[in-house]
Amino acid sequence: MATAYSVTLRTPASTATLIAAAVLIVALFAAPAYASRGMIQDLFFILTMLTLAQYWNLLAGYGGLVSVGQQAFVGIGAYALYGAVILGGADPILSILLGGVAALLLAIPTAFFAFRLQGAYFAIGTWVIAEIARLSVAQWRGVGGGTGTSLPRDALRELAFVDGIRALFDVRASAARDILSYWLALTLAVITIAGVYWLLRTKRGLALAAVRDNTEAAKSVGVDASRMKWVVFLTSAFGTGLAGGLIYLQKARISPDAAFSVTDWTAYVIFIVVIGGIGTIEGPILGVLVFFVLQSLLADYGSWYLMVLGLIGISVMLFAPRGLWGLISERTGLQLFPIRRRLVGGSNTKREV
Amino acid sequence: MIWIDTIIQGILLGGLYALFAAGLSLVFGIMRLVNLAHGDLIILGAYIILISVTVLGLNPFFAILIAAPLMFALGWALQKLVLNRTLGEDILPPLLVTFGLSVVIQNGLLEGFSADSQRISAGALETASISVGPISMGVLPLLTFGSAILVIVVLNHIFYRTAIGRAFRATSDDAVTASLMGIKPERVFATATGLAMVVAAIAALYLGVRANFDPSIGPARLIYAFEAVIIGGLGSLWGTLLGGVIIGVAQTVGAAINPEWQILAGHVAFLVVLLIRPRGLFPRGN
Amino acid sequence: MALLETKGLTAHYGDFQALFGVDIHLEQGETVAIIGANGAGKTTLMRSITGVLRNAPEQILHNETPIGHLPADTIMKRGIAMVPEGRKLFPSLSVEENLIIGGQHKGGRDLGDRIDSFLSRFTGAPDPMELAAGHDGAGYWTLETIYELFPILRERRHNPGTALSGGQQQMVAIGRALMSNPYVLLCDEISLGLAPVVIKDIYAALPKIKESGASVIVVEQDIGQALAVADRVYCMMEGRVTLEGRPSEISRDDIHAAYFGAVA
């Protein structure tokens, strides 16, 4: 038979991953049935940070675009939701989508400016845009200006599905809202990971890896590097905006300084990705778990916590630049989300010459 | 008349921003490294001066004699021990390491000095002013602007007229060939960062005397500095001064219209320049 | 005692091995030529000797001291100077500055070295003054004598180094290396891409350079030129020395075989 060789993406580990992931997702969706409210809130935090981390990783790890301005998209997504709900009386859950669209719209001029800047200057350029967005939103009196505002009680009370969740789990309205937010966060995280994985496996995604590895070489084989940069940047902005809307729907209170915080929405996210392993899908997943454990252990120590996080991030970058996942996959060869195509077969059939 | 006054205030403020930016520009010019912790290092310098003033009872202008060598040593060690390891084709390591450093310095200062605002006291100098015709100018802003010019003249002299400046330029051109001339590139880079930190210490002095500061304001200074560098064009220190002046004037004019627009106006001016002249006003060839 | 010697020198670029046990030596006062086709390993050999590529200490000896592991700046301070392939002038520096920088760090006597030397007493790190092995960089060559050797450079001294013609740039590169008054001058492909008349001008400087006390290794693709100036010749092929001898003792056929690997 001449069909002994085949090109495949699948590894034994990736098949196992697929099964394990399906089980895990079902278990997570069922979590409200057996988990406490505090645990649901923790999981919400983990899942939203994971989503942000995946999008930043797509930008920096795959697209080579180191943005320090992702807080712009979290903030604008959140404020679009608040604006629509408070000023337009829109449905809060549908308004999450509006948050994504708002972030996308902001991303277009942002990319136009920031792509004029090379490398490191791109990073600070995105930061400037985020500052402009923060300062501009602080001028927006309708949503509380510089001091911020809360979601109206009516809007929260009338939130879709909440009554059903109350009846199902026999919980109070506020807990039911947390469960709803949690399910949305879980859905968003799953779609994000699946979507990023799908994007990276397409022809376009492989081209992305080529651009990251060597822009000049990629150009010479006809990869349009600048179009890929746009695709990645806009995708990340849209997803980050969705996450921003969802995060602040759950918080129910917003202010420009919090929603556009470089520490909360960019610094933490960068550390998650760097510690976990930049340029892999597994890295941010591992990173967010490490991050959560560190935060649980050290959050009481305030600024010490951030210092430790910063020092760990620096050490990882200096001594293990591929992060924890890099260390693991180097030693074990494990790949849960294989992206490179591999040539398999042929060992037990004779080559026909 | 009030407008002329506002614009002069803005020009003089630009001197401060040029001081923030000069070190950033120097380091970028020599090793293509953007230090995201630059703003926080300036704030660290301000705290060193503050301690020298309050604990040792020094005049702030003498305290710089303590802060400058300390900052030089800090910059030298930082470059030698940490940042030299990050240099290379990949832009991720230097960015992420200096970003981490920014977080570490900020929170270290927060732990050491709390979030309270501080101010370096310079006595009567803070309010002294001189009048030229109908226009009155603060002595301190004038001194700041004069220092910015002096710093740029001295840096240009070092860069173009001294042995270490030759080594800076040669290493920037081609580090391998420079090593064939007996130059240790890692040592040259460490010296450059040390020098940038001396400028940061001078910037810190005027920052701390001019207004209140606290551990969290470093990133905003980094952004002003960065805007000044980009507006001026990479590699031109006089361009950086002009960039600082443009940001300064935009901020004071913005503030005169509406106090809440001060910072925003500076950022918008930056975007406008970037839109019209993507490579800045005085781009150096290459 | 050889002034400079390689013993079983090997070199790798990642997985690719470029040198397979190269043995050459340079005696005091000699001019040695190294010839060979592109990819024979000549430039790799130069990069190893000058410390751009690091090796095992014992693979390169300078006055019988192992130097294979030393970095490029230290090798230069011992009095081994290099005219790199492609000239590699510093575009940000004028002609005169290019020359000055060649001598400004000679002999391990710049401020950084003095500080390191002082610190080495406490840290146990190697003393840069000691590594410089007594080479103080003093000698015949100064800006003035370089300008006497290549008068055209005096006229062009304020031009950027890269604004000159190829031959003039080569003169700057040679002058830059001489400014440290080296014991050993390594010249990598100095005639590459230059017109014959220009090559002649440049090689005319060789007797003066030897008179100043430098021993010379020239890497050449131009066999005729190499045989004309050298006391001894090495021919390299595929990372090995395939022929060694005095120009008077080796035949064209020997060279052809050593150069291309087969006798025609």
CA distance, residue A205 to nearest chain B CA (Å): 20
pLDDT number for residue C56: 93
What CATH code is carried by the domain that includes residue C220? 3.40.50.300
Pairwise CA distance, residues C116 & B231, whole Å: 40
Total structural domains in chain A? 1
Identity of the residue in C76, C91, C92 whose CB atom sits nearest the CB atom of B181: C76
The answer to whether position B80 is within a domain reads yes
Query: For residue B195, which residues of chain C lie inside 8 Å, CB to CB?
Result: none
Total of domains in chain C: 1
Are B182 and C105 an interchain contact pair (Cβ–Cβ within 8 Å)?
yes
Q: How far apart are CA A121 and CA B231, in angstroms?
A: 12
CATH number of the domain that residue B145 is part of: 1.10.3470
Q: Residue B135: pLDDT above 70?
A: yes
Q: Which of A131, A314, A321 sits opposite B100 (nearest CB)?
A: A314
Q: Are A273 and A61 in contact (CB under 8 A)?
A: yes
Measure in Å the smallest separation between the Cα of A349 and chain B Cα atoms. 43
pLDDT of residue B285 exceeding 60, the answer is no
Residue B122 lies in a domain: no
Count residue pairs from A and B with Cβ separation < 8 A.
116
Dist. CA A247–CA A233, nearest whole Å: 21
- Which of B31, B164, B177, B186 is the best residue to mutate to test the C interface, defined by the most C CB atoms within 10 Å of its own CB? B177
**Any idea which residue has 């597994």 for tokens?**
A282
Domain presence at residue B286: no
Give me the amino acid identity at C202: I
Note down the domain range covering B26.
2-114+138-276
What is residue A352's predicted lDDT score, i.e. its pLDDT?
36
- CA dihedral for A314, B101, B28, B166, sign (positive or negative): negative
Alpha-carbon distance of C97 to C119, in angstroms, equals: 31
A286 assigned to some structural domain: no
Q: B286: which 2 tokens?
A: 């290459």
Please report whether residue A328 resides in a domain.
Answer: no
Q: pLDDT band at residue A346, thresholds of 50, 70 and 90? A: very low
- Residue A348 in any domain: the answer is no
> Is the distance from CB of A148 to CB of A255 less than 8 angstroms?
yes
Q: Which residues of chain C have pLDDT under 50?
A: 263-264
- Specify if A186 maps to a domain: yes
- The answer, for B114 touching chain A at a CB cutoff of 8 Å, is no
Determine the structural domain holding residue C38 and report its residue range.
4-260
CB A64 within 8 A of CB A226: no
What is the tens place of the pLDDT at every residue in B21-57? Answer: 999 999 988 988 889 999 999 999 999 999 999 999 8
Size of interface B-C (CB pairs under 8 A): 69
Exposure string for A213-242, b = 16+ CB within 10 A, e = fewer: eeeeebeeeebebeebbbbbbbbbbbbbbb
C-alpha distance from residue B84 to each of A124, A229, B93, C114 (Å): 21, 29, 11, 22
Residue of A nearest to B104 (CA): A307
Instruction: Count the domains in chain B.
Output: 1
Nearest CA in chain C to B191: C112
Widest CA span in chain A: 77
For residue C97, list chain B residues with Cβ-Cβ distance below 8 A.
Answer: 166
Residue A254: strand pairing partners: A149
User: Between chains, do B184 and C104 touch, taking CB under 8 Å as contact?
Assistant: no
- Give chain A's contact residues with B (Cβ, < 8 Å): 60, 64, 66, 68, 113, 116-117, 119-121, 123-124, 127-128, 131-132, 135-136, 138-139, 146, 262-263, 267, 270-271, 274, 278, 302-304, 306-307, 309-311, 313-314, 317-318, 321
Cβ atoms of C92 and C81 closer than 8 Å? no
Instruction: Pick the more confident residue, C232 or B131.
Output: C232
Most B CBs within 10 Å: which of A135, A137, A140, A265, as the mutation test of the B interface? Answer: A135
Tokens for C211, please give them: 């008179």
Who among A113, A117, A314 is closest to B101 (CB)? A314
What value does the mean pLDDT take over residues A159-172? Answer: 84
CB contact under 8 A, C105 and B172: no
| pLDDT-above-90 percentage for chain C | 68
Round to whole Å and give the CA distance between A178 and A156. 11
Q: What is the CATH number of the domain that holds A28?
A: 1.10.3470
Residue A215 has pLDDT above 80, yes or no: no
The beta-carbon neighbor of A123 closest among B33, B82, B95 is B95
Residue of B78, B99, B216, B277 for testing the chain A interface, max A β-carbons within 10 Å: B99
Q: Is B115 helix (H, G, I), strand (E, B) or coil?
A: coil
Q: What amino acid is encoded at B14 in this protein? A: G
pLDDT in tens, C75-105: 999 999 999 999 999 999 999 999 999 998 8
Mutate to test the interface with B, among C48, C104, C123 (most CBs of B within 10 A): C104
pTM for the full predicted model: 0.90
Beta strand pairing status for C215-220 and C184-188? parallel
Work out the minimum CA distance from B266 to partner chain A, whole angstroms: 10
